[in-house]
Amino acid sequence: MTVIKNAKVLLNDELVQRDVQYKDGKIVAISKVIDDTNDRYFDAKQAFLTAGLIDVHVHFREPGFEYKETIATGSKAAARGGFTTVIAMPNLNPVPDNPKLLADQIQRNTDNGLIHIAQYGAISANLTATKISDIKGMAEAGAAAFTNDGKGVQTADTMLQAMQAAASVNKPLAAHLEDDSLLHGGVMNAGATAQKLELPGITGLAESTQLARDLVLAKATGVHYHVAHISTKESVALVRMAKSAGVNVTAEVSPHHLLLADDDIKSDNALFKMNPPLRAQADREALISGLLDGTIDMVATDHAPHGSEEKSKSFRESPFGITGIETSFQLLYTHLVKSGVMTLATLMKRMVASPAETFQLKAPTNIAVGEVADLALFDLEHESDITVDDFQSLGKNSPFVGWRVFGKTLATWVDGEIVYEDQTK
Ligand SMILES: NC(=O)N[C@@H](CC(=O)O)C(=O)O
Ligand SMILES: [Zn+2]
Ligand SMILES: [Zn+2]
């Protein structure tokens, strides 16, 4: 048995000191003081202990793009970020778009992962076909949910069929919203910054028009429809309206869309290039309000590592996406909780309970006797700079490098095993 001594845990929205004891991967006791001389000890030194974070949107790049990330490096990065369960995206090579490839991918995740990795199956072949994949077969092979993330589903007919199939197997369908006909080669948000930098813009309409279409289809099919990386105020308003109209819709927002806007882009620096693009300050404010009132159910990082060389190119040439799983808790704790925008309890709900419940994941949502010991320990008092050298991810492409943050991860446990421990104490 092991005891984590002197931890601070959230109880009725308050941080209280507790000792937490686990055995064979499960929590067996929680008490103000546990003194068992036979136990191994881990001194939490008053740091914040929580059920491990959950990220429903990560890109681990294996197979196909191992120079960007592997399942081993991606899950190491996740563990360093305090994450114990993630759902991995299918924009791989080969794309898991049939039951055999999906089963292979699940096996690869299990063999090479350090944390729990659930897997999305692709809606259609190679993420682009109009004919839908064998969604029932992939559900039977263990797919957690379905998406073509990286590509928008261009025709209503493909989306309708995918929703019907996902609904019939009772799995969520997650949408990367992007109407290709509205893109016009854009690489950042259409607005003053794009004009100043003379770069082609992407309007919010590319997202919100497809969302409006999908919400009507979701209502008709009853599917659990999930909006990936929501980015505009119009989209937040649409989701709010749809929820009140009884549509079974959930939404995620990324840390970067909560903390950055296009006016933070001062030069042609592709570390700020991602899809959807950073929007205007008014959009950012709407996303924060949506996360506060529950219109947006959860945070998801959209951890999208790329090679340093490709990301050092110009905005026009570099790929979309930023690495993010290692910095998300620190950034959101510092800039939303410590700054007084939301409580720690609300942030944890959006990073643990809500993703677990929404995606029906087998992951603990709180620290309780009998629960699996998937845990993360954060030092809320520790202040440091985000540094590339500390990244476990192969992706160094973060616009947050140099930001000063509180809340470094001290340790992460999966099934009662330490999978990350800070060495700089
Ligand atoms: N978000 C991104 O900018 N890029 C993602 C794809 C995606 O999430 O759409 C990627 O795979 O690199
Ligand atoms: Zn996407
Ligand atoms: Zn993505």
pLDDT digits (tens, 9 = 90+) for 337-352: 999 999 999 999 999 9
Q: If we measure between CA atoms, which residue out of 369, 374, 343, 256 comes closest to residue 13?
A: 343
pLDDT tens track for 244-254: 999 999 999 99
CA distance 278 to 284: 9
User: Domain with 280 in it: what CATH number?
Assistant: 3.20.20.140
Mutation choice for ligand 1 from 149, 153, 278, CB with most ligand atoms inside 8 A: 149
Assess whether 279 and 408 both reside in one domain: no
3-state SS, residue 405: strand
The whole-number pLDDT of residue 149 equals 98
Residues 383 and 297 in one domain: no
Q: Is 176 within any annotated ligand binding site?
A: yes
Pocket test for ligand 1, best of 302, 315, 322 (most atoms within 8 A of CB): 302
Q: Give how many domains the chain has, as a whole number.
A: 2
The pocket around ligand 1, CB under 6 angstroms, is made up of 59, 91, 149-150, 176, 274-275, 302, 304, 319-321
DSSP-derived secondary structure for 323-389: --TTTHHHHHIIIIITTTSS-HHHHHIIIIIHHHHHTT-S--SS--TTSB--EEEEEEEEEEE--GG
Of 305, 337, 358, which marks where a domain is finished? Answer: 358
Model ipTM over 0.85: yes
Q: Is residue 124 part of a domain?
A: yes
**Residues taking part in catalysis:** 302
pLDDT exceeds cutoff 70 at 392 = yes
pLDDT, mean over the chain = 98
- Here the tokens at position 246 are 């009884």
**Does residue 125 lie in a domain region?**
yes
pLDDT in tens, 112-164: 999 999 999 999 999 999 999 999 999 999 999 999 999 999 999 999 999 99
- Ligand 2 centroid distance, CA of 417 (Å): 32
- For residue range 279-338, list pLDDT tens digits in order: 999 999 999 999 999 999 999 999 999 999 999 999 999 999 999 999 999 999 999 999
For atom 9 of ligand 1, which residue has the closest CA?
A: 150
| Residue 286 and residue 190 share a domain | yes
For residue 38, pLDDT over 90 is answered with no
**305 CA to centre of ligand 2 in angstroms:** 13
Distance separating alpha carbons of residues 363 and 347, to the nearest angstrom: 17
Is the pLDDT confidence value at 424 over 90? no
3-state SS of 40-87 is EEEECCCCEEEECEEEEEECCCCCCCCCCCCHHHHHHHHHHCCEEEEE
Check the annotation: does 57 bind a ligand.
yes
Q: Is 302 annotated as a binding residue?
A: yes
Task: Identify whether the C-beta of residue 176 lies closer than 8 Å to the C-beta of residue 304.
Answer: no
- Domain boundary at 307, 323, 358, which? 358
Taking residues 409-424, what's their average pLDDT?
Answer: 97
- Quick one: 223 and 350 in the same domain? yes
- Ligand 1 mean position to 139 CA, how many Å? 24
Alpha carbon nearest to ligand 1 atom 3, residue: 321
**Closest ligand to residue 320's CA:** 1
pLDDT of residue 425: 59
Strand-pair partners of 189: 202
320 with 213, same domain: the answer is: yes
- Residue 109 and residue 9 in one domain: no
Evaluate whether residue 229 is within a structural domain.
yes
Is 61 among the annotated ligand-binding positions? yes
| CA 97/CA 90 separation, integer angstroms | 8
Residue 378 sits in a domain whose CATH number is 2.30.40.10
Q: Alpha-carbon distance 247 to 245, whole Å?
A: 6
The residues near 66 (Cβ < 8 Å, ≥ 6 apart) are none
pLDDT tens digits for range 326-340: 999 999 999 999 999
SS3 category, 309: helix
Q: Are 65 and 75 in contact (CB under 8 A)?
A: no
Claim to verify: residue 393 and residue 280 sit in the same structural domain: no
Handedness of CA 91, 97, 102, 104 (dihedral sign): negative
* Nearest ligand 1 atom, CA 306: 12
Ligand showing the shortest atom-to-Cα distance for residue 256: 1
Are both 397 and 289 inside the same structural domain?
no
C-alpha torsion angle, residues 338, 344, 347, 349 (rounded to 10): 180
Confidence of residue 35 (pLDDT cuts 50, 70, 90): confident
Which has more confidence, 36 or 43?
43
Atom of ligand 1 nearest to the CA of 229: 8
Structure token pair of residue 217: 């289809």
Cα distance between residue 79 and residue 284, in whole Å: 28
- Is residue 365 in some structural domain? no
Give the list of residues 6+ apart from residue 1 with CB closer than 8 angstroms, or none: 21, 22, 23, 28, 36, 38, 39, 40
The last residue of a domain, from among 334, 358, 382: 358
Determine, yes or no, domain membership for 363. Answer: no
Is residue 227 one of the residues assigned to a domain?
yes
**Shared-domain flag, residues 377 and 232:** no
Residues with Cβ within 8 Å of 349's Cβ and at least 6 positions away in sequence, in order, are none
Compute the distance from residue 129 Cα to the ligand 1 centre, in Å: 18
In a shared domain, residues 188 and 70 = yes
Tokens representing 46 are 């008053």
- pLDDT tens-digit series, residues 40-82: 999 999 999 999 999 999 999 999 999 999 999 999 999 999 9
Mean pLDDT of the region 187-207: 98
The dihedral built from the CA positions of residue 391, 408, 327 and 116, taken in this order, carries a sign that is positive
In a shared domain, residues 15 and 113: no
Helix (H, G, I), strand (E, B) or coil at 158: helix
Same domain, 251 and 352: yes
Domain that includes residue 324, residue range = 53-358
Query: Does residue 364 form part of some domain?
Result: no
